[in-house]
Amino acid sequence: MNSKNIIMRFGFHISIAGGFPRVIPRALRTGCETMQIFSGNPRAWKKKPFNPEEAQNFQEALSQTSIAPLFIHAPYLLNLASPSEELYTRSIDCLVDELNKAYRLGARSVIVHVGNKLRLKEPEALDRVARAINLAFRRANNSIQLLLENTAGQGTEIGFKFSQLKTIVDQVDEKERIGICLDTAHAFEAGYDLSTSTGLNQMMDEFDTLLGLDRLKALHLNDSRTSFGSRVDRHWHIGKGEIGLSGFLHIVNHPALIHLPGIMETPRKEDADDLRNMEIMRSLIR
């Protein structure tokens, strides 16, 4: 396929407040061509019972739109690297649940934060993440992919270096089910300078060398409110942060990225915020 005919598909993380019937109208209202949702409350272990009929209705309604693909973001509470066996087991159980829900909702992938090593040494923490994924895949026997989201490296976070992601991926048994979601703000904050064409190309070369570009399945398109290499995770509006408009101009037109869905997780108080970010993002397409 001629890359000149490919244009990146943009979307947002869409709230599920009020139930799944409200999701698609919200996505359409903000111009989504792709989208990401939570399957339930992302900050609570205890969730309302999952309604298979509601999930089927959602999947059918989504199929009547051009919004694709759909991504499920795993809850923030998961820590697949946790040294606590109780939290580790609970995180694996939750991940299995998310993979199964994603299948019922018609999603392509589940996106998960890599985790926090806390008191563990880095190698042990990375090994625990890979082991958790293997256990979850065996229990959720479906075709849903799991995408590891790179982190900003805040606190004891792991997964902010591509070499760390490679260590995890190398130990996953079902390689066809594992991929990466690249968050632009996190990468910038972790020390990958996406604000310049040179920095972006260097990052892409490193990613390709360590993981292979075919492992990259989605983008989180967020500007950064904090400075380059800050290791502090703060998303900001497109073009208003430290990556800037010129940075996103290179990102959304990069030949190795334009075929990927781009999800924005920018600050939001009302639809106007999303519409403004969408307008800016689309204006950058060349």
Say which of 113, 215, 225, 250 is annotated catalytic: 113
Torsion-angle region of residue 18: left (phi > 0), alpha (psi -120 to 50) or beta? left
Per-residue pLDDT of the chain (286 residues; tens, 9 = 90+): 445 678 999 999 999 999 999 999 999 999 999 999 999 998 888 877 888 899 999 999 999 999 999 999 999 999 999 999 999 999 999 999 999 999 999 999 999 999 999 999 999 999 999 999 999 999 999 999 999 999 999 999 999 999 999 999 999 999 999 999 999 999 999 999 999 999 999 999 999 999 999 999 999 999 999 999 999 999 999 999 999 999 999 999 999 999 999 999 999 999 999 999 999 999 999 9
What pLDDT does residue 44 have? Answer: 87
Q: What is the pTM of this model?
A: 0.96
Catalytic annotation present for 233:
yes
Say which of 26, 104, 186, 250 is annotated catalytic: 186
Say which of 13, 26, 73, 177 is annotated catalytic: 73
Q: How far is CA 109 from the centre of its chain?
A: 9
Catalytic annotation present for 13:
no
Say which of 220, 225, 242, 274 is annotated catalytic: 220
CB of 106 within 8 A of CB of 70? Answer: yes
Catalytic annotation present for 76:
yes
Say which of 122, 206, 265, 273 is annotated catalytic: 265
Catalytic annotation present for 186:
yes
What pLDDT does residue 1 have? Answer: 41
Architecture of the 3-283 domain: Alpha-Beta Barrel (3.20)
Catalytic annotation present for 173:
no
Catalytic annotation present for 113:
yes
Q: What is the DSSP string of 176-213?
A: GGEEEEEEHHHHHHHT--TTSHHHHHHHHHHHHHHT-G
Place of tokens 């969730």: 47
Torsion-angle region of residue 191: left (phi > 0), alpha (psi -120 to 50) or beta? left
Catalytic annotation present for 220:
yes
